[in-house]
Amino acid sequence: MKCPASIIEDTNTIHEMLGNNIKFIQSRFGIIKINLDKTILFPTGLPGIIDKKFCLAHLPNKKFEPFKVLQSIENEKLAFIVYPLDNLELIDHNDIIACSKLLSIEIENMVICLITSIYYNSNSTTPKITVNLRAPIIIDLHKYLAVQHIFSHEKYNIQHELLFTPN
């Protein structure tokens, strides 16, 4: 069985999701390119957000690879930095399997992205980066459907710090 998020690296899934029907958006992160043919629908929305249609895009600043942008196509001012999970040490494999079954998504079609916060301490030029492990974004690549799955237990932090040095 493949690691659910390593499918991004193994098959360049994110690159495949950036295809032909291209639109450029001036976001708060800079100009990003999205492919409207690869729109991801959140049927139940995201908690507190009315927008339901998003696309994944590369950040304009390459120093923040492997992070991506989850950009609303309904509101150009709404975007989230996400971290495609490729480290199964962050979320227990049994929880990934249970999530896959609960959401009826085959693991090989599932990508897990973590909502990310990047901020600078006034004393440092290195950003502090945290991810929300308790409520990952689960994307079904076969159907282009997604949900923010909220784990009911508290073993996952809402602000889990990542050790990351920008390129």
Please provide the DSSP assignment of 66-110 as one string: T-EEEEESS-TT-EEEEEE---TTSS-HHHHHHHHHHHT--GGGE
pLDDT digits (tens, 9 = 90+) for 48-102: 898 999 999 999 988 888 899 999 999 999 999 999 987 667 999 999 999 999 9
Q: What is the pLDDT of residue 2?
A: 40
* Separation between Cα atoms, residue 22 and residue 138, nearest integer Å: 24
Q: Would you say residue 104 lies in a domain?
A: yes
Expressed as residue numbers, the domain containing 22 is 6-162
Q: Would you say residue 1 lies in a domain?
A: no
Q: What is the pLDDT of residue 11?
A: 39
Q: pLDDT band at residue 126, thresholds of 50, 70 and 90? A: confident
CATH number reported for the structural domain that contains residue 105 in this entry: 2.30.290.10
**Statement: the pTM of the whole predicted model exceeds 0.85:** no
Give percent of the chain above pLDDT 70.
Answer: 85
Q: Which range, of 6-20, 27-41, 98-112, 134-148, averages the lowest pLDDT?
A: 6-20
Q: Would you say residue 135 lies in a domain?
A: yes
Q: Would you say residue 74 lies in a domain?
A: yes
Q: What is the pLDDT of residue 10?
A: 40
Please count the structural domains in the chain: 1
Q: Would you say residue 167 lies in a domain?
A: no
Q: Would you say residue 76 lies in a domain?
A: yes
Q: Would you say residue 126 lies in a domain?
A: yes
Q: Would you say residue 27 lies in a domain?
A: yes
